[in-house]
């Protein structure tokens, strides 16, 4: 089972906007050292929407090679074109990814039946474990629990990253699927509540900045140390909040640049974090020991 802290990894870039392959290797090494349970390259936080298909596939290849089987790699392969999602998912399988994360098709606003057919079409072509990804604030498309339940019996579809903003959605999904169907939080600030309702971990933005704390939090909860998990959750809440003060991954990439982990590269239409927020991000990073 995939469980624990899976980092929604940023794609490091140089100041010119080129993918920084050396920094990517360094970030992966840091996560391996920090106890991160799994890596999710080229998801939303990885700026998948602005990478070329060639870059997208190479980020997955580099990540799989660097991880070298030590922790699971769940490659982001979703797209708003079913054909493109199939192409990226096939490439991820060929690269050796352990599973794929497939966001609901953004901008198109498909019906629930359209969502069902989209995922069925991918599963019919590519034999790799698949995690559904529901994030309506980004996609203008909300996959309902009943649709998840229709998809859950498909062998390749093993779980969902839920980021609709309502932690209670976990309970609604859990009531309709088998016990072995995985639910992962996509909302860092709600992860404790979502795990209490049946999630088994998170695909986390915060894990980019404090990977050791996010993995320790998940370990505590999964091992029955609820007091420890609650204490770590309280400690991280200010970071959960500040990393969404502007559109993600803008604050996260700026924080990592301040920490000396990456350069300041980010691709339009996203831009560097507004100076208005610099002092507060630094203050919170310092308070938690990240600076």
pLDDT digits (tens, 9 = 90+) for 152-210: 999 999 999 999 999 999 999 999 999 999 999 999 999 999 999 999 999 999 999 99
How many other C-beta atoms are found inside a 10 Å radius of the C-beta of residue 252?
A: 25
pLDDT at 64: 98
Give me the chain's average pLDDT, please: 97
249 preceded by a cis bond (ω within 30 of 0): yes
Tokens of 141: 């498309």
- Cβ atoms of 44 and 69 within 8 Å: the answer is no
Non-local (6+) Cβ contacts of 177 within 8 A are 148, 149, 152
Tokens of 182: 């995985």
CA distance 221 to 262: 31
- Cβ atoms of 33 and 69 within 8 Å: the answer is no
- Going from the first residue of the chain to its last (291 residues), give the mean pLDDT of each consecutive group of 10, the final group possibly shorter: 95 96 98 98 96 97 98 97 98 98 96 98 98 96 98 98 97 97 98 98 98 98 98 98 97 98 96 98 97 94
Q: Catalytic site residues?
A: 133, 161
CA distance 78 to 88: 8
Alpha-carbon separation of residue 167 from 121, 187, 193, 199 (angstroms): 29, 8, 7, 10
- Cβ atoms of 140 and 106 within 8 Å: the answer is yes
């Amino acid at each position: 089972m995939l469980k624990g802290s899976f980092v929604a990894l940023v794609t490091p870039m140089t100041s010119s906007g080129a993918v920084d392959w050396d920094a990517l290797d360094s970030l992966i090494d840091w996560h391996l050292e920090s106890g991160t349970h799994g890596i999710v390259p080229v998801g939303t936080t990885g700026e998948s929407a602005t990478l070329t298909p060639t870059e997208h596939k190479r980020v997955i290849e580099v990540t799989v090679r660097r991880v070298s089987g030590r922790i699971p790699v769940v490659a982001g392969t979703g797209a708003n074109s079913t054909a493109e999602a199939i192409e990226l998912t096939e490439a991820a399988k060929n690269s050796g990814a352990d599973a794929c994360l497939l966001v609901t098709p953004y901008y198109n606003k498909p019906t629930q039946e359209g969502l069902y057919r989209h995922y069925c079409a991918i599963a019919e072509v590519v034999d790799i474990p698949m995690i559904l990804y529901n994030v309506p604030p980004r996609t203008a498309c909300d996959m309902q629990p009943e649709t998840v339940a229709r998809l859950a019996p498909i062998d390749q579809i093993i779980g969902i990253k839920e980021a609709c903003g309502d932690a209670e959605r976990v309970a609604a999904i859990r009531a309709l699927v088998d016990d072995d169907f995985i639910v992962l939080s996509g909302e860092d600030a709600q992860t404790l509540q979502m795990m209490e309702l049946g999630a088994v971990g998170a695909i986390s933005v915060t894990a980019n900045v404090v990977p050791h704390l996010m993995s320790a939090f998940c370990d505590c909860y999964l091992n029955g140390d609820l007091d420890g998990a609650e204490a770590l959750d309280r400690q991280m809440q200010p970071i959960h909040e500040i990393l969404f003060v502007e559109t993600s991954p803008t604050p996260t990439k700026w924080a990592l640049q301040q920490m000396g982990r990456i350069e300041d590269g980010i691709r339009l239409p996203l831009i560097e974090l507004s100076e208005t927020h610099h002092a507060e991000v630094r203050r919170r990073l310092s308070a938690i020991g990240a600076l």
